[in-house]
Structures are given as structure tokens and as C-alpha cells.
């Protein structure tokens, strides 16, 4: 189980007299349990990626506490990370290596011996339906093929918790469906605790067992899709989300349309600087 309590994070933008403090996350709390897919749903800039980066021990919160199976991420980051597999839209594959070599290499970094890492690569090839990719160099892979390889790499050490930051960014319809099926299998057959961020309604409606609605860095609502619809008295989930995530003044203005959740696939986001990427089995997205 992942438990987030009173999480807060501030960033300073600019220098000197032009410097300003941005409150990216403020007082965010939620719980994600095993055998369930939990979605962080919010508009761009709501604090979703920053929250996932703090869970993955990439940045330290200013306030609050994160635990993974009771392990404090701030106090014992290595122990917590051993229980997590993290995937973002920055796939970070080694292009000269095959998919198998990418997976096995990260397995060795996680402390697996060569035989165990090879066995996990074989097992994940079946789980993720990527056997045809295993012995091909990743240079030239499609977005869907890169996603499967990066997900297998994140899962090579068999973590009990999976963290995904907007995983369908840049994927076509077939690749998106394939990812959904893989996540369902990991939940249903292996009992994984899965947390992913998104601003796409269709993903939430089709995949999530529990939804955390995030706005302005805060948790503003949570529950199943049916519970959130009942709370607002609406029968359209997009309209439900807009009512929950935006203040009346925001809903009345044009800004809602720029930040509101979309049913279509989200556009790709710019890559983060190389220095911000983690050195373990995943690469984190933008702040």
C-alpha cells in the first residue's frame, strides 16, 4: 500500500526581484491499496507529476509523509524503491541494446543475478505480449514498442507497486489498448498496487478502480467513477470532473477549456533535462 499524508512542495521560479514561489502541491493526501488501479486525475499543472516524483524519491517534499508498505520514503528511499517500479513518458531506452538486454541490464542494477534477470525478461515478454521484440535493437522502435520495453524494465525486479506518469502519452489506439490490458493483468493476476496520473477521461472510466481528483495541488475528491458521478448528480464524467476540479469562476472562464481533461489522446510533453532523470529502472517526467 502507498500512503500519502499532507504532501506539500514549493518551487522558486526566476531570480532576484523576479523570483516567485509556486506552490505545486499543498496538503495532498490519498491511499492506494494492493490489487487496485488508482488514478490521479487532474488538469495540466495540478501537481500530479510532482506528486509521483516525490513518491519515487526523486524530489523531497517540503511537508508531509509518504510510506510504501509502511516504509518511509524520505527516511529509507532505497528500501521503498525496491518495492516500486516507475514508468514515465521519458522512456530512456539504450538504442544499441535489444529489448532483452535493456531489461536484463536493469535487472542486474536491481541486484538480480544473470539467470534470474534472464528469466524475468522471458516472463515479462509473455505478460506484456512482447516476445517478438525481445531480440530486436530498440533503436527504431515505435512508441508502443518503447512503452512495453520500458514497462518491462520497470517491472524486472517484480515490484509490488507500479507508478506510471501519463503512460499513454504519444501512443496510438492499439498501443493504448495493449497497455490497459497489461495493467489489468498485473492487477488481477498478480495483485499489484498501480498508481497512474492522467487527464484523459476515457482512461479513468475504463481502467481505474479508485480515482483521486487533484486540483491546484490538493485532493478535492476521491472515489469510484460511479461515486463521483453520484456526488455531482451528473451522468457525464467529463462534466463531473470539471465541476469537481474547477472553481465556479474558472468554469465560467476560457481557462477551463485549456486545462480541462480531454477524451482524445494527450499530446507529447517536452522531455525533461537529462540531469533530472533517475538512474534506476525508470525516467521521471516533467515537474
Tens-digit pLDDT profile for residues 177-224: 988 999 999 999 999 999 999 988 888 999 999 999 999 999 999 999
Residue 89 pLDDT class (50, 70, 90 cuts): low
Every domain of the chain and the residues it spans: 2-89+161-276
Distance CA(124)–CA(148), nearest Å, equals 10
Q: What is the mean pLDDT of residues 101-114?
A: 95
What's the whole-model pTM score? 0.82
Mean pLDDT in residue range 38-56: 94
Mean pLDDT of 114-133: 94
Q: Which residues of 267-279 are buried (b: 16+ CB within 10 A; e: fewer)?
A: eebeebeeebbbe
For residue 253, the 8-state DSSP code is: S
pLDDT value of position 249? 82
The percent of residues in the chain predicted with pLDDT above 90, rounded, is: 70
- E strands along 114-168, which residues? 161-165
Chain centre distance of CA 178: 17
Q: Over 60: is that where the pLDDT of 168 sits?
A: yes
pLDDT category at 171 given cuts 50, 70, 90 is confident
Instruction: List the Cα angle 129/189/51 in 5-degree steps.
Output: 85
Fold topology of 2-89+161-276: Rossmann fold (3.40.50)
Query: What rounded mean pLDDT belongs to the chain?
Result: 87
Distance CA 229, CA 252 (A): 21
Which letter does DSSP use for residue 235 in this model? S
pLDDT at 156 over 80: yes
Is the pLDDT at 90 greater than 90, yes or no? no
Mean pLDDT, residues 119-130: 94
Amino acid at each position: 500500500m502507498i500512503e500519502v499524508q499532507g504532501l506539500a512542495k514549493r518551487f522558486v521560479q526566476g531570480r532576484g526581484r523576479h523570483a516567485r514561489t509556486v506552490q505545486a502541491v499543498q496538503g495532498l493526501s490519498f491511499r492506494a491499496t494492493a490489487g487496485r488501479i488508482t488514478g490521479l486525475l487532474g488538469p495540466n499543472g495540478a501537481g500530479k507529476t510532482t506528486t509521483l516524483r516525490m513518491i519515487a524519491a526523486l524530489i523531497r517534499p517540503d511537508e508531509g509523509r509518504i510510506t510504501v508498505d509502511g516504509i518511509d520514503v524520505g527516511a529509507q528511499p532505497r528500501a521503498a524503491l525496491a518495492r516500486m517500479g516507475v514508468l514515465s513518458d521519458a522512456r530512456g531506452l539504450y538504442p544499441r541494446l535489444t529489448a532483452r538486454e535493456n531489461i536484463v541490464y536493469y535487472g542486474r542494477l536491481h541486484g538480480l543475478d544473470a539467470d534470474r534477470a534472464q528469466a524475468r525478461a522471458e516472463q515479462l515478454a509473455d505478460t506484456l505480449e512482447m516476445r517478438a521484440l525481445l531480440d530486436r535493437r530498440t533503436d527504431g522502435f515505435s512508441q508502443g514498442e518503447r512503452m512495453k520495453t520500458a514497462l518491462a524494465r520497470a517491472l524486472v525486479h517484480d515490484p509490488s507497486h507500479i507508478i506510471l506518469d501519463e503512460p499513454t502519452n504519444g501512443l496510438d489506439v492499439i498501443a493504448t489498448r495493449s497497455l490497459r490490458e497489461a495493467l489489468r493483468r498485473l492487477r488481477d493476476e498478480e495483485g499489484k498496487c498501480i498508481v497512474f496520473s492522467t487527464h484523459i477521461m476515457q482512461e479513468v472510466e475504463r481502467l481505474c478502480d479508485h480515482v483521486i481528483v487533484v486540483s491546484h495541488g490538493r485532493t478535492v475528491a476521491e472515489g469510484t467513477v460511479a461515486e463521483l458521478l453520484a456526488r455531482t448528480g451528473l451522468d457525464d464524467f467529463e462534466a463531473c470532473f470539471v465541476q469537481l476540479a474547477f472553481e465556479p469562476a474558472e468554469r465560467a472562464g476560457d481557462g477551463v477549456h485549456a486545462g480541462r481533461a480531454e477524451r482524445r489522446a494527450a499530446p507529447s510533453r517536452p522531455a525533461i533535462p537529462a540531469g533530472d532523470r533517475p538512474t534506476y529502472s525508470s525516467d521521471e517526467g516533467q515537474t
